Amino acid sequence: MTASHAPAYAGRVALVTGGSGGIGAAVVQRLVADGYSVGVHYAGHRPKAEALVESITASGGSAIAVSGDVADEEAMGAVFDQLEEAFGGVDVVVNTAGIMTLSPIATIDLDDLDRMYRTNVRGTFVVSQLAATRIRSGGAIINFSTTVTRTSFPTYGGYVATKGAVEAITPILARELRGQDITANTVAPGPTSTPLFLDGKDEETINRLAAAPPLERLGTPEDIAESVAFLAGPARWVNGQVLFANGGLA
């Protein structure tokens, strides 16, 4: 490969939390295609993370698997240590890790609500806090919300409460990073064809949701990964924003 054809972001390093499957895995592959070395973070899916890393390295890319509870600051500090040791630093952090339990607000199990808050809110805080002090100048922090903060679908109340918090946190973080040349944005996907989204839905429900956007289809993990790659690399003038990647649904 000649220098003129080197990937655009060769030498940059990204951490993708929840990188072992669904949207996270697509983000990992998209950033690798741009030349990033990537830390593929996982919590409970080690074989999937290791298989993804093996596939990337076999194709000439650069990646390692890293593990830790996103809500545990010591565990995630160790993840940053691993990436710095392996690749020399961290430039981009993408928080795709999250959990979702659907239930009407009137009957939601409050233990489920606490679990979602721990991963989706505290986890985003922990990883963003570490990123704010450890990623290099010119870097980017990309958090994840959901288009349901706008569409307000029933049974999503607990989940949307956690993602509304993420949308509130991120522009404040962007302003607190003044002078460091680090952007902070949020991606809010619409209905996307992932195992998490499809689980428990019948064909009629899936078809109805697919028909809702003007583009009349479900999003793909690759669609969402394109939005992340934009914010991670060329979108240096986009900061403190929520990018709704939903085909025009809302």
Q: Where are the beta strands (DSSP E) in 32-105?
A: 37-42, 62-67, 92-95
Within 13 Å of residue 64, how many CA atoms lie on the same side as its CB? 12
Is 214 a domain residue? Answer: yes
Q: What pLDDT is attached to residue 199?
A: 79
Question: What three-state secondary structure class fits 7?
Answer: coil
Is 149 a domain residue? Answer: yes
Q: CB–CB of 142/228 below 8 Å?
A: yes
Is 1 a domain residue? Answer: no
Is 124 a domain residue? Answer: yes
Is 249 a domain residue? Answer: no
- What's the CATH number where 128 sits? 3.40.50.720
Looking up tokens 């990436």 gives 83
DSSP for 191-223, written as a single string: SB-SHHHHTT--HHHHHHHHHSSTT-S-B-HHH
182: CB partners within 8 A, 6+ apart: 132, 135, 137, 138, 139, 140, 141
Q: What pLDDT is attached to residue 46?
A: 93
Residues recognised as catalytic: 159
Number of domains in the chain: 1
The domain of 153 spans: 10-244
Is 183 a domain residue? Answer: yes
- Please report, for residues 199, 200, 208, 223, the alpha-carbon distance to residue 205 in angstroms, rounded to integers and kept in the order given: 11, 10, 5, 21
DSSP element (H, E) containing 140: strand 140-144
Q: What pLDDT is attached to residue 1?
A: 42
In angstroms, the CA 66 to CA 47 distance is: 12
Is 3 a domain residue? Answer: no
Q: What pLDDT is attached to residue 194?
A: 87
Is 179 a domain residue? Answer: yes
Per-residue pLDDT of the chain in tens (250 residues, 90 and over written 9) = 444 466 889 999 999 999 998 999 999 999 999 999 999 999 988 999 999 999 999 999 999 999 999 999 999 999 999 999 999 999 999 999 999 999 999 999 999 999 999 999 999 999 999 999 999 999 999 999 999 999 999 999 999 999 999 999 999 999 999 999 999 999 999 999 988 788 778 899 899 989 999 999 999 999 999 999 999 999 999 999 999 999 999 8
Q: What residues form DSSP beta bridges with 93?
A: 15, 141
